[in-house]
Structure 1
Amino acid sequence: MSETATATAATPAAPAAPNRRLPSTLRIGLSRAAMETRLFFREREAVIFTFSFPIVLLVLFGSIFAGDLEGTGITVSQLYTAGLIGAGVMSVSFQNLGITIAVERDAGVLKRLAGTPMPRTAYFIGKTLNVLLLSVLEIAILLAIGVLMYDLDLPSEAGRWVTFAWVFVLGVSGAALLGIAVSSLPRTAKSAAAVITTPFVVLQFVSGVYIPITQLPGWLIDIASVFPLRWMCQGFRAAFLGDAGVSLELAKSYELDKVALVLGAWVIAGLLLCLTTFRWKSRRDG
């Protein structure tokens, strides 16, 4: 046997490289959520627009329209607080999410992500968790203003907090799924804000956010009743205004069973729309 062969035989084989498991979809989704949140707070314009708009409107309307409503002991400011919580949640979950995804698609970000080993589900987990965090922050700020400036009483009954919790979960879920679905409508990033913001602004006016639902014409109420915002606001009024505000509702009831039915239906409809309409590439990419 040659010296080379002898040396080769005497050299121990290198240990095999350990099989490294890829991170789970949930772990990747959590990392995406952390990154999405950092990117959001680095964009000062997006932060200011997303959080300040409902806050400014609450301070303005709450200061301009003072006084009690029909002897209920509820002030107009407190009514606006409950309504703008619904609008603030939908602003984060529908408007901001829809515009962001449309811009990312137009810039080719989604196309590049789709070509990576990252599970596509992780992208949506990251977006959803980011929306949940921003929605909680939005609600906390609006509630703080309502309590400190307009004497809004936080619920003292566990049942009303339970109502708030399920209205929040169903509302955020349905609005976020709808935001993902409508992100495919804008042809370019430049048109995203106009295409998505315009219908949202109209919905706010017909859903009882700025104008009490009882003062709207019937045909506008019928239109608003199709969409989730009206029912989100009604559910939040049930949580934060309680029995004192029930007389301000159309049916003299908060109709929480109907609130759950409509919001749940929008979760299912939003999911179906996402599955059938979502695109990872812009129209110019085919």
Structure 2
Amino acid sequence: MWAITLTELKKNAQDKGLWFWTFILPIVFIVGFIAIFSGGEEMDTQALVTQIVPGYTVMFSFFIMISIVIAFVKERDGGMVARIASTPLPINRYFIGKWIPFMLIVIIQIIVLFSFGVLVYDLPLGDPLSLIVLSFVLAFLSTSWGMAMAVLVKTENMGIALTQIIALGGAMLGGLWMPLDMMPAFIQATAKFLPQFWALDGYKNILLEGGTIMDIWLSILILLSFGLIGAIIAFVSYPRFLRQSKS
């Protein structure tokens, strides 16, 4: 399992597209939108920063799903999955070995984007333990959905299209782009059914209000529940994915 994890980490480190989606583009969005919205004198700078930095961090954490889908579809169509299935390696170890690197990438992404916010915009961090727990749960959620999608979709393009719908649609309806109180009532009502809303709500509680684990327990519980749904779908659907793999 750990050999698969290390191999996957090395491959991802050489993937320039992954670097672009994970680090470069989010920073460009953060800088651009803070520059646009900070022009108004009525806008509280700290509130703006604590909306945009965690908001775009949450949004771009879901783009890891593209890399997960591409990795699994390539190995399925290239025969790698079938060859591994013929070895004594348990299926769950292969599956988890592929999963761990993507979780690490999302965690590193969160660290980099929040560090950028601290260094450039004096982003307040609040309680470190709460940030760590919430970030791990967010990484689990985004990657579990990616794993589920990877074993369900038939092509890379289908996975990329679905990722954009989930990431961008969830960002728009979940209040990641702008505060929900500036949006129509039906969007404010819809947002509470989306994990993106709860992730941002947890981060803002920590950063703006000095919240602790006890203050964000509902956000953690909801995100964990969504993540477990994705994980269950991924494990249940894996045998079907295995049957589709080319030998």
Q: What TM-score range do you get, normalising by the shorter chain? A: 0.7 to 0.9
Query: Contact 1:68 / 1:76 at 8 angstroms: preserved in 2?
Result: no
C-alpha root-mean-square deviation of aligned residues, in Å?
Answer: 2.9
The 3-state SS of whatever aligns with 1:74 is: helix
Residue 207 in 1 paired to residue 178 in 2? no
The alignment covers a number of residue pairs equal to 244
Q: Aligned-pair distance for 1:68?
A: 8.0
**1:106 is aligned with what amino acid?**
D
TM-score normalised according to structure 1 size:
0.74
Query: Contact 1:89 / 1:135 at 8 angstroms: preserved in 2?
Result: yes
The 3-state SS of whatever aligns with 1:208 is: coil
Residue in 1 that maps onto 2:119? 148
Residue in 1 that maps onto 2:230? 270
Between the aligned partners of 1:218 and 1:255, the Cα distance in structure 2 is 25
Structure with greater helix share of residues: 2
Residue in 2 that maps onto 1:44? 16
Query: Contact 1:95 / 1:179 at 8 angstroms: preserved in 2?
Result: yes
**2:204 is aligned with what amino acid?**
R
2:101 is aligned, of 123, 126, 130, to 130
TM-score normalised according to structure 2 size:
0.84
* 1:1-286 paired onto structure 2 within 5 Å: 29-66=1-38, 74-92=46-64, 94-155=65-126, 160-242=127-209, 256-278=216-238, 279-281=240-242, 283=244
Between the aligned partners of 1:142 and 1:79, the Cα distance in structure 2 is 13
In the alignment, structure 1 segments of 5+ residues that lack a partner are 1-28, 245-253
Query: Contact 2:107 / 2:139 at 8 angstroms: preserved in 1?
Result: no
**2:33 is aligned with what amino acid?**
F
The 3-state SS of whatever aligns with 2:63 is: helix
Between the aligned partners of 2:54 and 2:139, the Cα distance in structure 1 is 15
Between the aligned partners of 1:222 and 1:282, the Cα distance in structure 2 is 41
Query: Contact 1:66 / 1:75 at 8 angstroms: preserved in 2?
Result: no
Which contiguous aligned blocks of 4+ residues in structure 1 show a shift greater than 4 angstroms? 67-73, 282-285
1:265–1:190 distance in 2 versus 1, CA, 3 Å: closer
Between the aligned partners of 2:75 and 2:186, the Cα distance in structure 1 is 37
**2:241 is aligned with what amino acid?**
W
In the alignment, structure 2 segments of 5+ residues that lack a partner are none
Q: Aligned-pair distance for 1:275?
A: 2.9
Between the aligned partners of 2:143 and 2:220, the Cα distance in structure 1 is 16
Between the aligned partners of 1:82 and 1:187, the Cα distance in structure 2 is 32
1:55–1:71 distance in 2 versus 1, CA, 3 Å: closer
Residue in 2 that maps onto 1:251? none
Identity of aligned residues (%): 23
Instruction: Describe the superposition over 1:249-278 as per-residue Cα deviations: whole angstroms up to 9, x where unpaired.
Output: xxxxx9623212311221332232123323
Q: Aligned-pair distance for 1:61?
A: 0.8
Instruction: Using CA pairs under 8 Å that are at least 6 residues apart, name the structure with larger relative contact order, 1 or 2.
Output: 2
Between the aligned partners of 1:102 and 1:241, the Cα distance in structure 2 is 41
Q: Aligned-pair distance for 1:67?
A: 5.8
